């Protein structure tokens, strides 16, 4: 099951609330580039674009333990979301796939200088599946509200397998920091590799 898309309510009250929320976040109302265009380009805007990732992603009901940090965990929540995660010991970054979405989140073990250097900018992710497929580098957008990075692979047309969820198939993901590409954009396929997160059996 893929996370449902949010619907816009065509009412004056809803429009007013949305306008006030946008103003509070400093937004300008621009929905950003078309998802298909973003999928074909290595350079992307710095911040989250609407529709790229589910802002209200479900969280696991159970607390994370030390054992979770070194094991591949595949489980399904009561809402039917399949989740797999790994945490890199060196950077403290948590890489988590939920259904056909991918998220990266700093943890308490992530050095403050690393978080400060990365936040507000997109990351690049290049993933491999257990059957040997490689998903070329795609962007993970910074999400100010949840202080993490996320993307819907379905929206980017990077995952079209109707028989298996991305979270069930992914074996590893390599994260890149990206480099400035001018005009406020980032080349997510360039720059140093931050970490390669491996989801072990």
- Give per-residue pLDDT as tens, 25-59: 344 434 433 333 343 345 555 544 444 444 445 44
The number of residues in the chain equals 201
Q: What pLDDT shows up at residue 37?
A: 36
Lowest-confidence range among 91-105, 136-150, 187-201?
187-201
Residue 13 pLDDT grade (very low, low, confident, very high; cuts 50, 70, 90): very low
**Residue 6 belongs to some domain of the structure:** no
**Residue 86 belongs to some domain of the structure:** yes
State the total domains in the chain. Answer: 1
**Residue 4 belongs to some domain of the structure:** no
- The sheet with strand 185-187 has its strands ordered as 43-45, 185-187, 179-182
Show the domain range for 88: 12-198
pTM of the model: 0.66
The stretch 109-122 carries a mean pLDDT of 94
Q: Say if strands 82-87 and 43-45 run parallel, antiparallel, or are unpaired.
A: unpaired
Q: What pLDDT shows up at residue 111?
A: 95
Q: Which comes out higher in pLDDT, residue 45 or 104?
A: 104
**Residue 5 belongs to some domain of the structure:** no
Backbone angles phi, psi at 51, to 5 degrees: 90, -10
């Amino acid at each position: 099951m893929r996370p449902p898309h949010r619907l816009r309510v065509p009412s004056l009250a809803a429009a007013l609330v949305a306008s006030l929320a946008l103003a509070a976040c400093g937004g300008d109302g621009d929905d950003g580039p078309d998802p298909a265009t973003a999928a074909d380009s290595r350079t992307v805007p710095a911040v989250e674009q609407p529709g790229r990732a589910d802002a209200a992603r479900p969280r696991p009901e159970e607390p994370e333990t030390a054992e979770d940090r070194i094991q591949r965990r595949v489980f399904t929540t009561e809402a039917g979301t399949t989740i797999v995660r790994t945490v890199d010991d060196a950077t403290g970054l948590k890489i988590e796939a939920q259904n056909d979405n991918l998220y990266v989140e700093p943890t308490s073990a992530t050095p403050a200088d690393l978080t400060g250097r990365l936040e507000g900018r997109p990351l690049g992710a290049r993933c491999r599946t257990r059957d040997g497929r490689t998903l070329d580098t795609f962007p993970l957008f910074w999400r100010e509200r949840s202080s993490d990075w996320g993307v819907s692979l379905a929206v980017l047309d990077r995952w079209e397998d109707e028989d298996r969820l991305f979270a069930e198939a992914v074996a590893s993901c390599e994260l890149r920091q990206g480099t400035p590409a001018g005009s406020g954009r980032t080349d997510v396929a360039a720059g140093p590799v931050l970490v390669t997160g491996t989801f072990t059996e």
